[in-house]
Amino acid sequence: MVALFAALGLGAGWLWFRIWDAPPGVVSDHTWYPDPYMPGQAAEFDAVAIYVLVALAAGVLGGVVCAFLLARAEVVTVAAVAVGSALAAWLMALVGSALGPADPDVLAKTAEDGTKLSGDLVLTGVSPYVALPLGALGAVLVVFLATPGHRPAEPRLAPPPPG
């Protein structure tokens, strides 16, 4: 199941990269600035928002598949989903960032004024990494609670004594 989540993380990273639009920018005084400024700043937020949406969807997909494949081993399922989804979140960020444009701040240090560079695809903060595990574990919980065989058994009454 960890391998399933690793594959989901790789695919989701590629999808994140494909959906996101790199903001244009320009170098001035060896510093990169988004051009136009406000849409460029919005693109940084878009990168995180798109990551979270794709990660949630991938997490739900992986969680549902794992919950049905490991239906009789709930503890193993939860452990595999927790580990696998954390790995998938990291792989998704790694692949998406690697496929995206290079860091314009680094490139701007050696570029001439007026050079046009695209912004890079990065995550800011740690909280987006929670989206994929949250979607996966939530999906497992829903499947386990909504399908027969995962509810606590009702106590059976003993048959009445003969007589």
Name the residue among 109, 114, 100 with its Cα closest to residue 46. 100
Query: Considering the domain boundaries, does residue 130 fall inside one?
Result: yes
Query: Considering the domain boundaries, does residue 107 fall inside one?
Result: yes
pLDDT at residue 22, as a whole number: 85
pLDDT of 55 strictly over 60: yes
117 secondary structure, DSSP code: E
pLDDT at residue 103, as a whole number: 87
pLDDT of 62 strictly over 90: yes
Query: Considering the domain boundaries, does residue 127 fall inside one?
Result: yes
pTM of the model: 0.83
Domain of 129, in residue numbers: 2-146
Question: Are 114 and 25 within 8 A, CB to CB?
Answer: no
Query: Considering the domain boundaries, does residue 154 fall inside one?
Result: no
Query: Considering the domain boundaries, does residue 20 fall inside one?
Result: yes
Q: How many domains does the chain have?
A: 1
Measured between alpha carbons, how far is 84 from 82 in angstroms, rounded to an integer? 6
Question: Model confidence over 78-100: pLDDT tens digits?
Answer: 999 999 999 999 999 999 999 99
Pairing of strands 116-118, 31-34: unpaired
